[in-house]
Amino acid sequence: MRRASLSRRVALFTTLGLAAVWAGAVVLMAAVLWSEQDELFDQQLVETAHALLPLVSHMEMQGIAVEVPQPAVPMDEALLYRLVARDGRVLRQSELAGRAVLPDAADLFPGRVASAPGYRLYATPFNAAGQALQIAAPLAERREAFREGMTGFLLPMVALLPLTWLIVGWVSRRSLAPLRELGAEIAARDGSRLDMIDAGDWPEDLMQIASVVNGFIARLAQALEAERAFATNAAHELRTPVAIALAQTQQMRENATTPAQIARLDALERALQRMRRLVARLLQLARADAGIGDSTQAHDLAVLTRLVVAERAPSEAARLADELPPAPVMARIDPDAFAIVLSNLIDNALQHSPPGSPVRLRLRQGAVLEVANEGRAVAAADLAGLTRRFARHRGDGFGLGLHICQQIVSAAGGRLEIISPAPASQEGFVARVTLTPPVRDH
């Protein structure tokens, strides 16, 4: 599952915080709006009752049977009234008041606003004629007005939430851009690149982090430099003694007379040959870690390939099947570095292929070199780790050859691809090197 980025988390939690504040403000506003609206409607109810009382009382005293005119409205929107005497008798009421369920006239206190299911009521004080007007307004109208007011307020506010998310996201991405730059700078550092990180105009907090990281990089560079220096010095110091010991062993092998002596000297010679190869690999590793590979001039890979093949032992050269184009294949890479890469790929192919099987070298235009060998396929999960230092899959190798190739090819601006099984096959191994062709002038 992909983790959310820091800018996305900042935008999310900031927006959620604003949304929580917004929701609280909406609830508070709704309570205030309902209270103020209720107060306003009650005031209108009181004023209406006092305005109608003289009219209805006069009509009652004059015996006028006609009701106070009202517009034709539904039951839940009609304003109801009734004129009552001091003893609680209803003297006159609107037509719809008789169908509504209202409290008894005697239960309403004059001069007070009361509530009943579905209605808000008010009873005026008794006038000189001993009459009071009780008026009832349906709550449905108030609720409808409240809903319309809240809807008119909420719609634009809800529309602001996505806009807030976008604005906060943009601000957080802009604000955290230096942090992403720092992450990219740290990710770009590896064993071949340990230069200090330039904090530039980053915020002070990130400059402090960059300073701490630079301290780690400096100490790591010193440790790696000491390790490389030790490996290089040890390889240089061992090269001559190993060569002398190997020469003396071979001389002793020629003078040996018994099978036991011959067997022991053969074993010793194999051990010294392995040590010689290890010394050679360590020297190559030191050069690869130093960044050899890139070249300002282009060189013909076909010529270099022929030279490398010609230097192989006859038994090894007999197994090499090369496919080289007649035209030059130019690429920007140091000749010695290319020879190291090709030699290591050939050694790897010879070592991990069945005895006597061919190793195919193919060079084609575009500066692409392929070294293919037969043998069991390598599992996909193991392919990516083959270029790590001291990573061994099968055999008694040192786990340095492909790593050296990877370092040199990367320094030359190319790429090394490990393919297994071989294309259109169920087995085999292919190492493909793609280098940088020279830029053509137009």
- The CATH number of whichever domain residue 220 belongs to comes to 1.10.287
In a domain, residue 190? The reply is no
In a domain, residue 131? The reply is yes
Q: Return all residues near 7 (Cβ < 8 A) that are at least 6 apart.
A: 169, 172, 173, 175, 176
What range defines the domain where residue 314 resides?
Answer: 292-434
Last residue of a domain, one of 171, 187, 221: 171
In a domain, residue 442? The reply is no
Residues 309 and 378 in one domain: yes
Residues 93 and 238 in one domain: no
Q: Which two tokens stand for residue 218?
A: 């400096």
Confidence of residue 442 (pLDDT cuts 50, 70, 90): very low
What pTM value is reported for the model? 0.53
55-67 burial, b for 16+ CB within 10 Å, e for fewer? ebbebbeeeeeee
Residues 56 and 130 in one domain: yes
In a domain, residue 196? The reply is no
Number of domain units in the chain: 3
Least confident of 34-38, 271-275, 365-369, 424-428: 271-275
Residues 60-103 pLDDT 10s: 888 876 665 555 667 777 888 888 898 888 888 887 877 778 88
E runs forming strands in 365-438: 368-373, 415-419, 429-434
Residues in the chain: 442
Residues 11 and 154 in one domain: yes
In a domain, residue 193? The reply is no
Residues 31 and 128 in one domain: yes
- Cα 32 to Cα 175: distance, rounded to the nearest angstrom: 38
In a domain, residue 340? The reply is yes
Closest CA to 178 of 167, 186, 166: 186
- Cα 431 to Cα 421: distance, rounded to the nearest angstrom: 11
Confidence of residue 394 (pLDDT cuts 50, 70, 90): low
E runs forming strands in 204-302: 299-300
Residues 379 and 319 in one domain: yes
Compute how many other C-beta atoms are within 10 angstroms of the C-beta atom of residue 171. Answer: 14
